[in-house]
Structure 1
Amino acid sequence: MSLDHAFPQAQRDAVYRAIHERRDVRAQFLPDPIPPEVLVRLLEAAHHAPSVGFMQPWDFLLIDSLEVRRRVHAIFERENARAAENHEGERGQLYRRLKLEGILESPLNLCITCDRARGGEHVLGRSSIVDMDLFSTCLAVQNLWLAARAEGIGVGWVSILDQDELAQVLGLPERVYPLAYLCLGYVSEFLEQPELARQGWRQRLPLAELVHGNGWGHALTDSALQEALGEMTPP
């Protein structure tokens, strides 16, 4: 096995640490602003995500206006109340106790959009799976998220929003989809566990139950790999 192109061990450890310690932050934001040079590094990391046909469909809307954030927060409040109706009994009580956004608490909001017309009518690699532009933009989100963790900055993705109304608030062109509405800021702490796991909403599934060999539900042919997976403990 050749390690000629591998990072030094300390750098590899740092990459895996960022992956395992990344959190969806909702309640631990501090008011301290993010320095411009740090914010540029985060955006640069996002901009270096892979994209289908190299179309780079993302744009970055930086939102520090309290008025705009209040309008977005109002959308969340309405949609969250509607979502709460899906859960009854103890589950419903738990849902209503969960902190699911930091729109007003975080010093900066960021909307990462997907321009679905960028690259022209025929984008290389997108003819069979039209949504590859959306998937590409998700990779930009993940790049930014991991870079933010390395910088000590928390990120929270607010998914309980009406995307059409959000697009109106942000004045987006019709072809541009508001893929990820994020809250960014330094935090008082990064939780040891994801918030939903800590609150008992759901736990991480064992990886060994999710890996198949040569077809759905088929056992792995590599017994050593199967044994290694079985020894893993969900972080």
Structure 2
Amino acid sequence: MTHSNHHFSDAEQRGLYRAIYERRDVRSQFLPDPIPPEILARLLKAAHHAPSVGFMQPWDFIVIESRDVRESVLAMFEQENQKAAEQFEGERNERYRGLKLQGIMESPLNLCITCDRSRGGPNVLGRNSILETDLFSTCLAVQNLWLAARAEGVGVGWVSILDQTQLSAALNLPDHVYPVAYLCLGYVSEFLDQPELEAKGWRSRLPLKELVHSDSWGQPLTDSQLDVALSEPR
């Protein structure tokens, strides 16, 4: 039995996996060059082709170029970032304060991807048991955009240190629309070899082998070939 008709070519596979492994959360490497409209359109189309439960497509995209809007979001970040820093003590606090965790003003473009929690009506196919599937679906749109951006040479940074209520007010979001991801987009001087938090010693990547279970939680794998393969570097 062969599945060759469904395979991508070797070059296409390499490109896909390269985008996955080389995608980075960019904060410090943004260039001022604008993203051409046709490139931005391709990224938004990639996001819009994400899977969604019940095909609800709960996302909207707010393209933010206004300096005034970005300055207001930066002020929100600085307020929340101060609160976050206070959660750490000693050397960890110093290391946290030395991290650059946003590129709101440096990037030429900001993008907020939202989730319309009413889209599709009160009864969406597949959403009866897990109401959060609209949020999960929107996260898939974020990842689609992120991988497409890496393929286009565009950096993306997710600014998660924001008060969602304040952000919703700044962007005039309706009550039923939730701001899932506030992103900074732009061309970059480089894509780092490692995620920045890993390179700066904040956290290391966990061994995948330790995260894979067999049939139920905590049970070791019975497939020895898979066990060996999981231990190999990518």
TM-score (norm 1): 0.98
Cα separation, 1, equivalents of 2:199 and 2:45: 32
Show CA shifts across 1:151-192 (max 9, x none).
Answer: 000000000000000000000000000000000000000000
Matched residue, 2:103 = 102
User: How many angstroms does 1:95 deviate by?
Assistant: 0.1
Matched residue, 2:196 = 195
Matched residue, 2:28 = 27
Matched residue, 1:163 = 164
The AA in structure 2 aligned to 1:87 is: F
User: How many angstroms does 1:3 deviate by?
Assistant: 2.4
Equivalent position SS for 1:185: strand
Corresponding position: 1:205 with 2:199: no
Cα separation, 2, equivalents of 1:107 and 1:227: 44
**Number of residues of Structure 1 aligned to a counterpart in Structure 2:** 233
User: How many angstroms does 1:222 deviate by?
Assistant: 1.1
Corresponding position: 1:74 with 2:75: yes
Please list every run of 5 or more consecutive structure 2 residues that lacks an aligned counterpart in the other structure.
none
User: How many angstroms does 1:143 deviate by?
Assistant: 0.1
The AA in structure 2 aligned to 1:116 is: R
Matched residue, 2:134 = 133
Cα separation, 1, equivalents of 2:191 and 2:224: 37
Show CA shifts across 1:40-74 (max 9, x none).
Answer: 00000000000010000000000000000000000
The AA in structure 2 aligned to 1:37 is: E
Cα separation, 2, equivalents of 1:131 and 1:162: 20
Matched residue, 2:15 = 14
User: How many angstroms does 1:229 deviate by?
Assistant: 1.3
Cα separation, 1, equivalents of 2:227 and 2:69: 51
Cα separation, 1, equivalents of 2:29 and 2:185: 11
Cα separation, 2, equivalents of 1:229 and 1:158: 31
The AA in structure 2 aligned to 1:149 is: R
The AA in structure 1 aligned to 2:157 is: G
Matched residue, 1:37 = 38
Cα separation, 2, equivalents of 1:228 and 1:64: 45
Show CA shifts across 1:114-166 (max 9, x none).
Answer: 00000000000000000000000000000000000000000000000000000
Corresponding position: 1:217 with 2:218: yes
The AA in structure 2 aligned to 1:186 is: Y
Please list every run of 5 or more consecutive structure 1 residues that lacks an aligned counterpart in the other structure.
none
The AA in structure 2 aligned to 1:174 is: D
CA RMSD of aligned residues (A): 0.7
User: How many angstroms does 1:2 deviate by?
Assistant: 2.5
Cα separation, 1, equivalents of 2:58 and 2:107: 26
Equivalent position SS for 2:126: coil
Cα separation, 2, equivalents of 1:218 and 1:120: 41
Cα separation, 1, equivalents of 2:9 and 2:21: 19
User: How many angstroms does 1:223 deviate by?
Assistant: 1.2
Corresponding position: 1:124 with 2:92: no
Cα separation, 2, equivalents of 1:173 and 1:21: 36
